Every structure is written in structure tokens, then in C-alpha cells.
Amino acid sequence: MAAFHLAPLAALLLASEPGAFHNPLLGKAVQQLRTFHEAEALVTLEKARAWPQNTDADLAQVEMYAGIAHGELSHAPEAVAAFRVARRLDPTLELPADVAPRIADWWKDAATRSGAPAPATPAPAPGPAAAEAPAATTKDAPVVPQLTPAALPVAPAAQVDTAPGPRWGRVAGYSAAGASAASLVVGLTLGVLASQHAAEAQSTEAVGAAQSLHQQALGQAKGANVAFAVSGGLALAAVGLLTFAPGGWLAPEP
């Protein structure tokens, strides 16, 4: 249960009995809000949107209570978006009394953005008789499913951000391993060339040519040694990164 739940939310919801709603799923969502299960209420409200017998008044209430649930979860953009849809569906809809001040502010903000006038003060929560009014208007006429503007998608509590932590250690480790392999190839190539030039220097009778080949062999041998040293250092770095850096095999989970 979130630490920021306020008593006024319980007060306003206690005034709305679940059986008073035309949409039974809306009543279930109110029960969940009453017990401070906002995430579960958002899932139920998503199903309530798809109820085939919804009227515009039903859908407006669904969006209003979705905005209240988002407000209690500190989801300001989602709360304002839901309130805006509710006001477009029913411009006369009024927010129940005794909601948290920040939720009332978001309700007024939604009224400003949707073009509907904001009420000066919140109205009292509707009683059972008022809540049953939409159902009474549909007894003599067939109920037709109505398409309404899509609200922002509602994320249930289970959809917590579980993106993996940084993996730069693994990427850097593989890069170091590749560079180590390249350095090893260079060292082996220079070593082979040094051996060939050293053999040619020994078999050449011309003194000048033999000295030149010998110098080439020495330079290539030194280059091979440097390449081997670099390859070894990079290999150690790769092992360390792949093992202990973020994203490594033995790195702690973020």
C-alpha cells in the first residue's frame, strides 16, 4: 500500500456503493479503490471500458475513476488524460467531493485543456438514486455499444519497469577480447617474418644484405614481442570486464 494514500479518498468512495452503477465492473473497481488497490482497479476499469452496454455516462464515470486511481499513484499525465476523456464524454460530470487537492487540480487542468468549464467547488459524491439514472433512461430503448475516443493505455501494477541494467561491461569485454585476438595475429605474423629474415641473413653471403636482413629480423621480433604483450593485457582486461563489470557474469544484479 502506498504511503501517500489519503483519508479523503476512502471518504468519497464510501459514498458510492458498487451496486449503484449501471456498469457492474465499475462497481468492482470502486471496491478496489476503496481498499487502496489502485493498480488492480485500473485493470478492472480497462475491462469496464469494453463492457458492451456502456452509455456515455458510464464511460465518463470509468474515465473519472481511472483518473482518480492514477492520481493516487502519482501518475499526473495519465490522470489528466483520463479526466479529459471523461469531460469530453460528459461535460456536466463533476468530480466527487473530498478528493486530494492535487487530484482536484488535475481535474481542473483537464477541464482547461478540454475546453469544458471547471466547477468552482467539487460536487458531493452521487448517491444510489443518482447513479441509477443512466440505467433508467435505457429501459425503453435497445442499448447500442458506443465507440468513444481511446484513452491512454492503463498500465497495471505488474507492469513495473524491469529493464535490465547497463551492459557496457559485457560490450567492452567483447571488444577487448577482439582487440586481443587481433594483436595476437599481428604478433604471430611479425614473429614468422622475423624468423624468415633471420634465416635469410644467415644464408646470405653478401655482408651488407645479411646485415640489412638481420636488422629487419630484430625489428620484427621486437614488434612481435610488443604485440604479444598488448594481446596479453587486452585478454586480461576482457576477462575482468566480462566477469566483474556491469552486465558481467559475476556482476551483482542492478
Q: Where are the domains of the chain?
A: 7-135, 168-244
Its sign, for the CA torsion 116, 120, 122, 128, is negative
Fold type of domain 7-135:
1.25.40
C-alpha angle 167/168/171, rounded to 5°? 95
Backbone angles phi, psi at 237, to 5 degrees: -65, -40
Residue 115's pLDDT is what?
52
* Predicted TM-score of the model (pTM): 0.40
Reading phi first (left if > 0) and then psi (alpha if -120 to 50, else beta), residue 247 is in left
Indicate the burial class of 190 (C-beta count within 10 angstroms; 0-12, 13-18, 19 or more): buried
Spell out the per-residue pLDDT of the chain, length 254, in tens: 444 444 445 444 444 555 578 888 888 888 888 888 889 989 999 998 999 999 998 898 899 889 888 888 889 899 899 989 989 999 888 887 777 888 888 888 887 765 555 454 455 555 444 444 444 444 455 555 555 555 555 555 555 444 445 666 778 888 999 999 999 999 899 999 989 888 888 888 787 888 888 888 889 999 989 989 999 999 999 888 888 777 677 776 65
Question: How many residues are listed for the chain in this entry?
Answer: 254
